[in-house]
Amino acid sequence: MNNCYIKIIYEVIFITTISELALSKIKNGMPVSLGGGHNVFNLAQAIKEAKLDIQLCSPSELTRLNCKSIGLQVDALDRINHVDLAFDGCDSVDYNLNALKSGGGIHLYEKIAAQMSDEYILLLPSERIHKELSNKIPLCIEVAPSTVKQVINTGESMGLKMEICQGSKVASLARSPQGNLLVDALSSTWTEIDNLVSKLNDQNGVVATSYFKNLVTSLITTNENNDAIELKKGDLK
């Protein structure tokens, strides 16, 4: 009697890039928000190539323009009521998934996207993840122009170095989409950032800050082998 051997071949698919792993979370029919940054635009390109049937929106005017250039229709946030997945970039994030999103000056709209989504996922390189937020990254504050002096004085009284942001392309001050001024605050450490932000938010004229507390649901980054991984709260210790 001849023995019969059955060979079973398992197909193993390795997801190696941040955009590939992010794309694998998106299903047809989902409303999806795309924030700003290089990794988010890589995801937009992957969405275009995959020909997914989804509704896209973005808090970023620049992202909407860049997506239009590759043939993706992306609406403003006010055109949609709910988001399944919101993807965004980040400058620094701590082990509790609190984040500083200080570049770009659109943190008010980015927070709206985070709050209206089931999952708010940051796409970022591993070197931006630390036990505590990096003191090399400023806290950016959106301030009504008439109250800037008062807000700067308040920040300086708390030991912060305060500086009004300048536009990088034109000879003017940087402004948010609402026309407000942006002020960067620097500290030797962000261990007391909750208290600092609370006091700043109490000041007349402060519209929003770039500190995202308890809004991020997960991170998509890379491990030591440069393979994409997803990290949730409690995974980092």
Sequence-ordered list of residues with C-beta below 8 angstroms from that of 168, at least 6 positions apart, any chain: 174
Please tell me the predicted confidence (pLDDT) of residue 11.
Answer: 42
Q: Is 14 exposed, middle or buried (0-12, 13-18, 19+ CB in 10 A)?
A: exposed
Please tell me the predicted confidence (pLDDT) of residue 93.
Answer: 98
Q: Are residues 205 and 150 in contact, defined by beta-carbon separation less than 8 angstroms? A: yes
Please tell me the predicted confidence (pLDDT) of residue 103.
Answer: 77
- Domain segments of the chain as ranges: 18-131+213-232, 139-209
Architecture of the domain defined by 139-209: 2-Layer Sandwich (3.30)
73: number of CA atoms within 13 Å, CB side?
7
pLDDT tens sequence across 106-117: 899 999 999 999
pLDDT tens sequence across 122-155: 999 999 999 999 999 999 999 999 999 999 999 9
β 92-93/55-58 pair status: unpaired
CA-nearest of 96, 89, 85, 91 to 235 is 96
| CATH number assigned to the domain covering 18-131+213-232 | 3.40.50.1360
Please tell me the predicted confidence (pLDDT) of residue 237.
Answer: 86
Spell out, as residue ranges, where the chain has pLDDT lower than 50. 1-13
Cα distance between residue 101 and residue 210, in whole Å: 5
Global pTM value: 0.89
CA-nearest of 86, 113, 75 to 22 is 86
CA-nearest of 5, 10, 80, 18 to 46 is 18
Q: CA separation (Å) from 195 to 141, 158, 191, 198?
A: 15, 10, 9, 5
**What is the secondary structure of 145-201 as a DSSP string?**
GGGHHHHHHHHHHTT-EEEE-B-SSSSSB-B-TTS-EEEEEE-S--TTHHHHHHHHH
Please tell me the predicted confidence (pLDDT) of residue 16.
Answer: 81
